[in-house]
Homo-oligomer: A and B are copies of this chain.
Amino acid sequence: MQKKVLRTVCYDAKGLIAKITAVCYKHQLNIIQNNEFVDHQTHSFFMRTELEGVFNDDSFLADIDNVLPDGSQQELITVARKKVVVAVTKEAHCIGDLLIKSIYGDLDIDIVAVISNYDSLQPLIEKFNIPFYFISHKGLTHQQHEIMVTQIIDTINPDYFILAKYMRILTPDFVSRYSNKIINIHHSFLPAFIGARPYHQAYQRGVKIIGATAHFVNDNLDEGPIIVQDVIPVDHSYLPEDMMRAGRDVEKIVLSKALFYLLSQRVFVYNNRTVIL
């Protein structure tokens, strides 16, 4: 008995759920949980089916393919521990939270490497026997630096590359190498305060709520598909540094929640949006 997740994306049509679940039934697979969503504007059909049973992957996927319209995408995924590489700059809160969750069972990730353009967090990371790659950006062009980062990532070939308060902008070239695999935590409630120093921008504007956004990274800065957002109240007494301190707790929770959804195979991306089933 195994557990797998069937992820189906296709053009909407009558009878899709019946056809897909009939294939599951034919294969004697038990549906633990089934969630679907139809975007009636674009006629897009999304379904996540959590299955239990004895799988013949090839035959099952062939049967699924037979009942779906042309152009469908289906994947049968074993929910398993994933390899991630994490990039950081100087702040410890996000990577610290990921470390604890990784070790004590709250996130099914193995952090196989941490990359940083500063060495500040090296002592922390090495306590946990994780390779720390200090790649200073000093004296390098943006491109040169990214090539060095790319080499590490490509050697490791992780499932996800997580920007856990990595304070450097990535080039479109870099980003396009890892489509839908780079997750960033941005320290604002996007699309408010795109770009640098969002808490200073928030202070300047006098907002009464601040937030954080976990999103996929695509070529435009802070404009990728949003996975999770959350906020906390602030008031006139918060200086930018108070917002930073309070915001760190939101940032880390939002990032790890986004990873939790991803690892559960619940996140679908289309039209710069996410569907979370």
Which A residues fall within an 8 A CB radius of B?
Answer: 14-19, 21-22, 24-25, 28, 30-41, 91-93, 96-97, 99-101, 103-104, 106, 124, 127-128, 189-193, 205-209, 211, 225-231, 233, 235-237, 239, 245, 248-249, 253, 256-257, 271-276
Residue in A96, A128, A208, A225 with the greatest tally of chain B CB atoms within 10 Å: A208
Sample (17) of A-B pairs whose CB atoms are under 8 Å apart: A15-B24, A17-B31, A18-B24, A18-B25, A32-B40, A34-B36, A39-B236, A189-B209, A190-B192, A190-B205, A192-B192, A206-B272, A206-B273, A208-B226, A208-B228, A208-B229, A236-B276
| Main DSSP-derived SS at the A contact region | mixed
Q: Per a CB cutoff under 8 Å, which of B93, B191, B193, B225 touches A104?
A: B93
Nearest 10 interchain pairs by C-beta:
A206-B273, A96-B100, A18-B21, A15-B25, A192-B192, A236-B275, A92-B104, A17-B21, A18-B22, A208-B229
Number of copies: 4
Contacting pair A205 B231 (CB below 8 A) = no
Q: List, in ascending order, chain B residues with CB within 8 A of A189's CB.
A: 189, 192, 209
Bound CA–CA A39/B239 (angstroms) = 9
Q: List, in ascending order, chain B residues with CB within 8 A of A127's CB.
A: 127-128
**Are A100 and B93 CB-contacts (below 8 A) given A235-B276, A236-B273?**
yes
Q: Which residue on chain B has the smallest CB distance to residue A45?
A: B31
Bound CA–CA A243/B93 (angstroms) = 23
Q: List, in ascending order, chain B residues with CB within 8 A of A28's CB.
A: 14
Q: Which residue on chain B has the smallest CB distance to residue A215?
A: B206
Contacting pair B209 A106 (CB below 8 A) = no
Q: List, in ascending order, chain B residues with CB within 8 A of A273's CB.
A: 206, 236
Contacting pair A206 B226 (CB below 8 A) = yes
Q: List, in ascending order, chain B residues with CB within 8 A of A229's CB.
A: 207-209
Q: Per a CB cutoff under 8 Å, which of B25, B101, B193, B206 touches A225?
A: B206
Contacting pair A245 B14 (CB below 8 A) = no
Q: List, in ascending order, chain B residues with CB within 8 A of A31's CB.
A: 14, 16-17, 38
Q: List, in ascending order, chain B residues with CB within 8 A of A205's CB.
A: 190-191, 226, 272
Distance from A107 Cβ to chain B, minimum over Cβ atoms (Å)? 10
